[in-house]
Structure 1
């Protein structure tokens, strides 16, 4: 079974904790992505920032994205997967935490991101269908 390292996207761009959300939104647009890892000055992962976070937690509340930093939206410890964890563990982790993207770490270093699309390209149809169902359930 493939590992997270085998199926991840390794070209990962971080947003820094101190960067404002206008900068983050521009970077997402440039890269054509809907989320970015939030990294500290030590290059350690602090959380994930999504385009939805910007809309719901900032714009919808009337806050100015030029004055809110990415670090303000980093909540607790990010859900991650180890680079050498197998695809079954990727599926379990995504399903358990209801996330569509998992940062891949090797020790403390961010080395990639595994998205649902990466899993879909790498695994048989049934486990992927189960994952989509698990992360799409409403509480």
Structure 2
């Protein structure tokens, strides 16, 4: 897990979030509300597909417009097998880790690959690759 994940604020512009992604060298950021609770995730793909391709201005479009539905998360005490199941079931590569009601960090596919035996990683990659 990557602890202390930096968030994109709900009221930040998509442009500000994309600059933060570039500075941090990441392709996704958790979206946090004023209460520091997770509201969703914003990815580089979201920015391209839901903002740029739709002709929206990333400087005036707010991150909260991309926080749709309830984000898929994992608990801080959940084991590695639960991480694998959740990623595979939801076909996601980044999984916010929640401790109580607060964001504790992010588990990425790369984190899993470094920590798990090769056969489990292969199973996960196969599950994520089939659509």
TM-score, normalised to structure 2, is 0.99
Number of residue equivalences: 131
Deviation at residue 100 of structure 1 after TM alignment: 0.0
2:51 corresponds to: 58
Which whole-Å deviations, capped at 9, do the CAs of 1:26-78 have from their partners, x for residues lacking one? 00000000000000000000000000000000100111001111110001110
CA distance in 1, matches of 2:129, 2:46: 17
**Are residues 1:128 and 2:131 paired?**
no
- Relative contact order: is structure 1 or structure 2 higher (C-alpha 8 Å, sep ≥ 6)? 1
1:11 to partner: Cα distance: 3.0
Trace 1:71-110 onto structure 2 (pairs within 5 A).
71-110=64-103
Q: Residue 39 of structure 1: which of 32, 47, 59 is its match? A: 32
CA RMSD of aligned residues (A): 0.5
**Structure 1 stretches lacking a partner, 5+ long:** 1-7
Gaps of 5+ in 2: none
Q: Using the alignment, how far apart are the partners of 1:16 and 1:26 within structure 2?
A: 13
Aligned to 1:14: 7
- For 1:67 and 1:76, locate their aligned partners in 2 and report how far apart those are by CA, in whole Å: 22
